[in-house]
Amino acid sequence: MKNSMKKISLAIAAVSLFASASVMARSAVSYTYAGVQFINQDLDGGCNQDGVRLGGSLELNSDFFALGSYSDVSGNGCGSENLKMGIGYHTLFGADSSLYGALSAENISVDYGNSDSGLIVAAGLRGFIENNVELKVELAHHTAFDGNTVLSGGIAYWFAPTFSVTGDVGLGSESSELALGLRMNF
């Protein structure tokens, strides 16, 4: 009987160790969220436009996620709607961060002029620097129109377990962007 109890105790300890190790192997960064942002864009050619972006991501499994966004912006004689959908891959990079890459398709429908579609290839790093402060940095290349390579950074302050205030800055070869918003994790 002592031998059986010892074996059961060892089995429980092994299962507990495996379960805690698998929980620890998951990133603190969530890829299942929805958000809304107010955006301001400065495009080459003198167009300054602002509006709203709705975006989100859905973790498909422990490695892959789907992403998408819709924005509608307008300004001084310019404006556009942008629809973007894609798929990405992420992997752990330390205990509280992850590296990711994504391939997306976008359609930009401009208010005055010709519309265009293209691909976006992006790679980035997201992670927590404090319990409730998440940072990200991303490099993306857009092929629509003349192409645009953008280096962007962002911050999310998690004021509740599932809600954050977000801020993003993007500096591109053809445009720059500033965005402020709210995000909710699921």
The pLDDT averaged over each successive group of 10 residues in the chain (186 residues) is 52 43 56 97 88 98 97 88 97 94 96 92 97 96 94 97 97 94 96
Q: What is the pLDDT of residue 113?
A: 82
Q: What is the pLDDT of residue 3?
A: 55
As a dihedral over the C-alpha atoms of residue 42, residue 46, residue 51, residue 54, rounded to 10 degrees, the angle is: -50
Q: What is the pLDDT of residue 18?
A: 39
Q: What is the pLDDT of residue 8?
A: 52
Residues 6 or more apart in contact with residue 55 via CB below 8 angstroms: 34, 35, 36, 37, 67, 68, 69, 70
Q: How far apart are the first and last CA of the chain?
A: 47
Q: What is the pLDDT of residue 38?
A: 98
Phi and psi torsions of 60, nearest 5° = -85, -35
Closest listed residue to residue 169, CA positions, set 155, 158, 157, 183: 155
Q: What is the pLDDT of residue 156?
A: 97
Q: What is the pLDDT of residue 23?
A: 36
Sorted by where each begins, the domain ranges of the chain are 3-185
Spelled out in words, what is the top-level CATH class assigned to the domain 3-185? mainly beta
Q: What is the pLDDT of residue 46?
A: 81
DSSP letters along 71-93, please?
A: EEEEETTEEEEEEEEEEEEEEE-
